[in-house]
Amino acid sequence: MKAVFLSILLVISGAFAGCLNYDDDDDEEPEFFGEVYWQENGVALIWENEWLYYGVPKINGGCDEWNVILDADIDWDKFTVEEGRPIGDVCFDVSRDEKHVSTYTGDYFEICIVGDEEDLCYDIHLIDGGIIRYYDDTGECVPQSSDIREPTGEYETTPGLLVDDEEWHEEFADFVSDSEDAAEEIGCLTLLYGPADPIDEDDDEDYPRCELIWPEDAFKAAIYSFIAEYELHYGPSVGCFFDDYADQTYGDIAYELEDDSPSSDALGYAQNWVDTNAQDYGQETFDLSTEFNIAGGGLGHINGTTQPEPVECSESGDEAPAQSTNSSIFTIQDNPHVNQSGMACFTKYVEVFGLGVYAESGLSDEQVLHAADVLAELLDNDEDGVVDDQALLSRLQDMNALVPMFNSEEIDESPALLDFEENYNGNGVGAVLFANEVDPENPGLWGADATIEEIMHTINHIGHVHLYPDAFGLEPNSSLLTDAMDEARGGQFVEHPSEYPEDAWYHYNDVTCEYDCMAIEYLYWAQVANMGLLNDTETCDGIDDEWQPCSKELLESMDALIYALITDPQYMLPQIAPDGQYNPE
């Protein structure tokens, strides 16, 4: 029973405990050592000396009652706090004995668990009132508070711990809200926190987190319970499946998926399981991303905020003509995903290597096909009919990467934009396109056609950043990309400088574009310069306030670092400028 309990705590906390070695220039103990950090479920973590411990509040001044509650035999007294370290009324126990290495970067601590098969790493950023644990491979962040009091009240123990303390949950929610700016600055794509109502023993209804919309098919429901918890982060959904779903014919599948799940890529793991094992259960394999609406944030909760708000999709103007002079190999279809959150008002759809281009009716067919062709050319740059980087394609497919195209930047002129902003909950969008910036006659021309830029942003941000973090990470001191950008800007400017140094050749001055945004823009400028898309006098003069090396030759001589990165064959970045006509041989 103890092993099960420890597993629950580790899944909820998102961290693995164990030996922690720190390594920084001053050989000083990390600042977060000795502090108690509470998570939203009422479980505490403390890093002390070379170990990470988990904890729960003492009951009647002691820890013995926890063994009765958990039906376990845990030696709570084994943890002795270093003299002078106050930890409050908390029961701690060692949860794992895996070795950790901690490195101080100057801005945060990187912690890596040294395992037998692979290293799992995350960063600890100190913020006001606590810490944020940042996972670079997913962009997910977990907030933990050091200022909050110990929670009181009873705990729900299955499938994971959650304390029945309404005021405590409200205080934790306030801490998370206050942490949003820090999370954005860190570069978090997702702040993992699901505010929960306290458990009411007098309420006959199920715990609110379990009010999930389930697939009718029992086989799919078992799999969805795993996806909802580990991919969509709905909370303890596997437990909800066992508590609420009437048909438990395939309950063993939910257990198997959870017990054997990797530390990341739950969707890919579950899809592989279905493809491999469905036939053994007399079932057909199916696409989890489509069936479970991954791009739209899942199937949602009953009366929950993840359900789409109704949007009137009628257009304010005439539809663009359907005819097209584009000789594209692609065809425009009706939107097959109108029932997914945020996708209801798109009327045109093109599939490109399993990815979707979605457009509102105000865009012409020619514009939509132009976007599809550019997407294909960037992925299959040599146009041999095979995507150049299969790992990149798999990443984009797993994230349901898409290219959304809207009538206008004005909400009252674009129902699809309103619906998308209000209801889309996926993680597959890096940029969007508007009708007035798509010009099939001038592919990639600065000031006329932004198609190459915005699609490149999506491929880079959703794909390369996470697939090759050492090369394309967006945080300061994290990658070859940011090292090159710091040199191109004349220094490392996490905040915008009042004035760039005279020798800088990349000097973007949009104050709304923070460091990670600057890095994505920098990668775009370097790629299109290398492709020759900036190499004319009018364009070069027009972008001079932001970017200087307009030609491939000038880029190579002026910015050797970024040139070496984007032409390195191991990353297979496109080298040929798309012309808007994808013609595979």
Half-sphere exposure of 548 (CA within 13 A, CB side): 13
What pLDDT, on a 0 to 100 scale, did the predictor assign at position 439?
96
What pLDDT, on a 0 to 100 scale, did the predictor assign at position 23?
47
**For every one of its 585 residues, what pLDDT tens digit does the chain have, with 9 covering 90 and above?**
333 333 333 333 333 333 344 444 444 567 777 788 888 888 888 777 666 777 888 887 777 787 777 766 776 654 444 443 445 678 776 544 455 667 777 677 887 765 544 557 788 888 888 999 887 766 778 899 988 888 887 776 554 567 777 888 888 888 888 888 888 888 877 777 654 333 333 333 333 457 788 999 999 999 999 998 887 777 778 888 888 888 999 999 998 998 877 655 788 889 999 999 999 999 999 999 888 877 667 787 775 544 445 567 865 444 555 545 567 999 999 999 887 778 899 999 999 999 999 999 999 999 999 999 999 999 999 999 999 999 999 999 988 899 999 999 998 899 999 999 888 877 789 999 999 999 999 999 988 999 999 999 999 999 999 999 999 999 999 999 999 999 999 999 988 888 999 999 999 888 888 899 999 999 999 999 999 999 999 999 999 999 999 999 999 999 999 999 999 999 999 999 999 999 997
pTM of this prediction? Answer: 0.55
Beta-bridge partners for 311: none
| CA-based radius of gyration for the chain | 26
Alpha carbons 321 and 150: distance in angstroms, whole number: 63
**Residue pair 99/85 in contact by the 8 Å Cβ criterion:** no
Residue 557, Ramachandran bin (φ over 0: left; ψ between -120 and 50: alpha; else beta)? alpha
The interaxial angle of helices 451-458 and 365-379, nearest 10 deg, is 50
Can you tell me whether residue 142 is helix, strand or coil? strand
User: Amino acid identity of 552?
Assistant: K
Alpha carbons 427 and 296: distance in angstroms, whole number: 9
Alpha carbons 504 and 298: distance in angstroms, whole number: 45
Looking at the chain, how many residues does it have? 585
As a 3-state breakdown, the chain gives helix, strand, coil percent values, each rounded to 5, of 35, 15, 50
Alpha carbons 241 and 401: distance in angstroms, whole number: 29
**Residue pair 362/408 in contact by the 8 Å Cβ criterion:** yes
How would you write 258-312 as a 3-class SS string?
A: HHCCCCCCHHHHHHHHHHHHHHHHCCCCCCHHHHCCCCCCCCCECCCCCCCCCCC
What pLDDT, on a 0 to 100 scale, did the predictor assign at position 422?
82
Q: Long-range contact list for 184-189, CB < 8 A, 24+ apart?
A: 184/514, 185/514, 186/108, 186/125, 186/132, 186/134, 186/141, 186/475, 187/134, 187/139, 187/474, 187/475, 187/515, 187/516, 188/132, 188/134, 188/139, 188/140, 188/141, 189/138, 189/139, 189/140, 189/427
